[in-house]
Amino acid sequence: MQLTLNSPLDMHLHLRDGEMLRTVAPLSAHSFAAAIIMPNLVPPVTTVEAVTAYKGRILEGIGNEKFDPLMTLFFQESYDVAFLEKAKPYIHGIKLYPAGITTNSEGGVSTIDSAALNMTLTAMSDLEIPLLIHGESNGFVMDREKEFVPVYEDLAQKFPDLKIVMEHITTKESVAALEHHENLYATITLHHLLITLDEVAGGMLQPHLFCKPIAKRPEDREALLSVALSAHPKVMFGSDSAPHPQYAKENCGCAAGVFTAPIALPVLAQLFDTHGKLDNLQTFVSDNAQRIYNYTPPQKSVVLEKKAFTVPEKYGNVVPMYAGEEIGWCIQSVS
């Protein structure tokens, strides 16, 4: 059995920088037509000059692959209309991080308040620049995303013309919020469709499955599966593939992130096939995102085949999800 995906898109991707970028960027660029690139480098991407320089390094790193890096800025409260008008041609969104909530987010927003952020959010709304949010509070780790949902809803209500993307949602409460506000959308990762906290820490700790937001309960995973498998019009695939060197994952300060980029499409095909929903995979991995972002990607056809494939133990010094294990689908060709 084969399945052809047209211009698959990854709407939430970490490529890092330097040697790591050169290792992982070609893997995404091979099988995806484009991706939304996260700006949480060190230092974060906060200027037009930094955006264009980073995009240049990505294009250099992917070689001859046909791939469009869709750049973002790291949210700053000081962004005004003049700056955003200058930046708009170079970006596809602005990513807001609560300060210190995840990898390289120390320079994020300390208090997410619609009044305090009014200037920037109003300008973004007027200029039709999407707001992408890592939505977690500083509460108990399993409740952080649930506690953040009222913040999403307040922003959606106060700025009804602002397109807000709830990034890498993990809870049934976030899924429910999609129905309450027309301007709320969401990305969903591969790993949150597959695992719960039990797979991460129910037995021996699995460091390569540790991520933020942390994997949640079975009922949360079922809610995510329901909207992803049905290709709900307000959800889209965003891998949140987040590479770290093996030594940073396999130590007592385990870095947060699951590296899925090279296996994302085959494992998604396996998942959708298992549930009898292969016909919806194209919509989940491309069509919805094109409509939500009003974006036309480069043409790329990825042929997936239902054929056993053993995932490599490592890509460079990065261990992928399912390292050394056999999965049921593979990439047959890309054109």
Give the pLDDT confidence of 266-294 residue by residue, as tens digits. Answer: 999 999 999 999 999 999 999 999 999 99
Q: Domain coordinates of the chain in residue numbers?
A: 2-334
* Cα–Cα distance measured from residue 169 to residue 188, given in angstroms and rounded to the nearest whole number: 6
Averaged pLDDT score across all residues of the chain: 96
Write down the pLDDT at residue 104.
83
- What are the backbone angles phi and psi of residue 290, rounded to the nearest 5°? -60, -40
The DSSP code for 167 is: T
Answer whether CATH 2.40.30.170 is correct for domain 2-334: no
Is 240 marked active-site? yes
Q: Is pLDDT larger for residue 101 or for residue 190?
A: 190
Dump pLDDT digits (tens) for 42-95.
999 999 999 999 999 999 999 999 999 999 999 999 999 999 999 999 999 999
Q: What is the dihedral of CA 17, 58, 184, 141, to 10 degrees?
A: -20
Write down the pLDDT at residue 218.
98
- Mean per-residue pLDDT, 200-227: 97
Write down the pLDDT at residue 103.
80
Contact status, residue 182 vs residue 162, Cβ threshold 8 Å? no
Write down the pLDDT at residue 111.
79
Q: Which of 267, 276, 257 is nearest to 328 (CA)?
A: 267
Hey, what amino acid is at 32?
A: F
Write down the pLDDT at residue 9.
99
Dump pLDDT digits (tens) for 6-54.
999 999 999 999 999 999 999 999 999 999 999 999 999 999 999 999 9
- Burial class of residue 142, CB neighbours in 10 A (0-12, 13-18, 19+): middle
- Mean per-residue pLDDT, 194-214: 96
Please report how the helices 18-31 and 48-61 are oriented relative to each other, as an axis angle in degrees rounded to 10: 70
In the predicted structure, residue 140 carries a pLDDT above the cut 80: yes
- List the catalytic residue out of 240, 273, 279, 287: 240
Task: HSE, CB side, 13 Å, CA atoms: give it for residue 64.
Answer: 1
Dump pLDDT digits (tens) for 92-138.
999 999 888 888 878 888 778 788 899 999 999 999 999 999 999 99
- What are the backbone angles phi and psi of residue 302, rounded to the nearest 5°? -115, 115
Dump pLDDT digits (tens) for 229-241.
999 999 999 999 9
Contact status, residue 295 vs residue 316, Cβ threshold 8 Å? no
